[in-house]
Structures are given as C-alpha cells and as structure tokens.
C-alpha cells in the first residue's frame, strides 16, 4: 500500500499532535530533526555506513539487498513500537529526501493497518522551508541594555503579560556572554537550534510584534539564522539604561552560587579582550571571593563592546528607558508603557 506523500506545509499542518517519526540513523537525527519527532531508525549508524559503502563499491542492487537483510528481522518490532505510540493510527514519516527509507517504513505501517503519510522531499525539504521562513519579513521589537540589565527576566515578565516573546537564549541553552554556558544544558547542534527557533516563531501570531532580546548573532556555539539576524539589525530597540553599580550587584546575585573554577575558565576565555592585568586581577578576586570586583572589570569590557555595536548601527530606532533598578516587574511595566505606543 503506497503512502500519501505530502508537501512540506501540508505535512507540518496535518502532523500537529500526531505521531511524527524520523527513520534516519541516530547520528542524522542528532544533528537535526523536525521538532517533536521521535527517532525510529531503519538502520543504526554502523548499518547505514555499511550500506553506503556497498552502494559506492558494488552498486545499488547489492546495497538494497543488504538493507533488506538488516531490516527484515526488525519489522515486527517497528510495528509493535509504533502501534504502542500512536493514538489514532495516524503516522507521519520522513527520511532525508523522502525516498526509499520513508517509503519502505510507511509501506510497512500501512500494511499493518496504520495510516502513514510521508514528507515529499524529506528532511531536506523541511530544512529549506525553515531557512526560507527566516528570510520572510517579521514584526520584531528588541529589548536591549548593557550586560547585567536583567533583560531576560524582563522578557519573562512580558511573556506572562501575554506579549509575544521568543526566548533566544533559552532555546540556545546559553546566556549569551562568555559566562553564558554556566549552569546551562549542553548546547544543541546548529540545526536543532534553528528548527526549535522555527517552531517557537510558528506558535506566534505573525500579525503582531514579536519581542526578542537584542543579541549578537552568535549565542554560544549557536548562530541566529542569517535572514532573521538581518531583520534584527533593523528592528526597533527598547533599551534599558541601568546604572553601572546596580548592574554589578545584579551579576553578583546571579553568579554568587556558581563554581569558582567554572567562573575562572570563563574569565580565561575573554583574557585577550580583558588584557593580561585585568585577567590576573579577575582570577585573584575570584580566589578571594570578591565577585563585585570581577563583575566591575568584566562589565568594562562588555559595556565597551555593547556600546560600540549601538554606535555603529545607524539603521535602528532606539527608545531609551531609564531605570535605577533591575527589578524585572518594575522594568517590565516601563517597557509595557513603550510597547503600548508601538502595538
């Protein structure tokens, strides 16, 4: 029984809330997959490598025959696994190009009494769709402010107030600075980051503005998709202006429970930017437990870099908000007053 092949938009729409299966090898799935998909690999990594070698050295027929030998003993297990997971017998399946792997798996599911659909063009079509999506115009507003301004906390408050917020740092598992990886989960591969970001945007009403934190293009090892980044560089920025010493105390509060050795490793990462003397002083202050002094030296570097980016960018409207606190609720109220004039 041949499975129905759906184009990317129909596949994404119809698969919402349904069982979505990626039949590629685990290593392929790890590098990137459609959000909410589960991995039921037709071939394990070593088996995929073996078949690929046979295809190159002995041709398609030999590779296909070996593939059948590998898959045949697994067929009953595949059916039982999928039947235990599906709620209404609907299954949505994809491989890399929408070829033999997804067609074979979908045939097996349909033969067993399920209703399987495949993605025309496979994961490759999905990735093209994601990258094209980030090229499309969006209504973006950025929340800016120097390091230690508590921007992430303010965005969380705004989200509670039912403004549309996409948490770039949360999706990246990184706070954005050299210290941003501490106490965070390991960052995902770039494609997983982009796919998750795509999913977050698709949950928004694109007729209304979407709030993002003003970030550099790189958030740790992840990069904001180029199309989205170009739009962010032109978006209106609501900039929190918080006094230096208030931000110092915010950083002390944020990092006071962190492992000293982890903080030292982060200082070493920016040693070239801090300079030899400041790096030495930061490490000494950490040994002595003087976190405020470390924060002051670090902020001098971050403020210089942040203000440079503002000064060189002439395309963006910047709306300043003055505040003498990093209290997220208070600053969210101040931002809300500005947003009401924009929405």
Which residues participate in catalysis according to the annotation? 95
3-state SS, residue 316? coil
- Of the CA atoms within 13 Å of residue 191, those in its CB half-sphere come to 15
Count the residues in the chain: 343
CB atoms within 10 A of CB 191: 15
CA 290 – CA 255 distance, rounded (Å): 12
Nearest to 210 by CA among 158, 175, 173, 133: 158
Can you say how many angstroms the Cα of residue 331 is from the centroid of all Cα atoms in its chain? 26
Nearest to 92 by CA among 69, 126, 68: 126
């Amino acid at each position: 029984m041949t499975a129905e092949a759906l184009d990317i938009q129909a596949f994404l729409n119809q698969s919402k809330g349904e069982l979505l299966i990626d039949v590629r090898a685990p290593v392929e799935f790890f590098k990137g997959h459609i959000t909410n998909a589960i991995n039921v690999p037709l071939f394990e990594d070593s088996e995929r490598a073996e078949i690929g070698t046979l295809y190159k050295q002995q041709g398609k027929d030999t590779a296909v025959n070996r593939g059948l030998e590998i898959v045949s003993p697994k067929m009953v297990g595949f059916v039982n696994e999928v039947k235990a997971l599906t709620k209404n017998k609907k299954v949505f399946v994809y491989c890399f190009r929408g070829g033999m792997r997804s067609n074979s798996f979908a045939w097996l599911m349909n033969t067993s009494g399920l209703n399987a659909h495949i993605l025309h063009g496979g994961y490759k079509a999905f990735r093209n769709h994601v990258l094209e999506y980030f090229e499309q115009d969006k209504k973006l507003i950025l929340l800016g402010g120097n390091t230690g301004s508590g921007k992430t906390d303010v965005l969380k408050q705004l989200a509670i107030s039912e403004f549309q917020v996409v948490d770039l740092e949360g999706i990246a598992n990184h706070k954005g600075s050299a210290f941003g990886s501490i106490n965070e989960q390991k960052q995902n591969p770039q494609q997983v980051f982009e796919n998750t970001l795509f999913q977050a945007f698709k949950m928004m009403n694109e007729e209304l503005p979407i709030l993002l934190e003003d970030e550099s293009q790189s958030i740790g090892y992840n990069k904001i998709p180029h199309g989205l980044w170009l739009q962010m560089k032109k978006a209106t920025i609501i900039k929190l202006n918080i006094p230096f010493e208030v931000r110092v105390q915010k950083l002390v509060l944020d990092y006071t429970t962190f492992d000293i050795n982890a903080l030292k490793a982060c200082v070493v990462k920016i040693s070239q930017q801090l300079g030899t003397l400041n790096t030495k002083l930061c490490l000494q202050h950490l040994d002595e437990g003087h976190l405020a002094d470390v924060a002051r030296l670090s902020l001098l570097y971050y403020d210089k870099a942040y203000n440079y980016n503002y000064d060189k960018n002439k395309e963006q409207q910047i709306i300043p908000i003055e505040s003498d606190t990093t209290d997220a609720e208070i600053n969210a109220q101040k931002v809300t007053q500005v947003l009401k004039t924009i929405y």
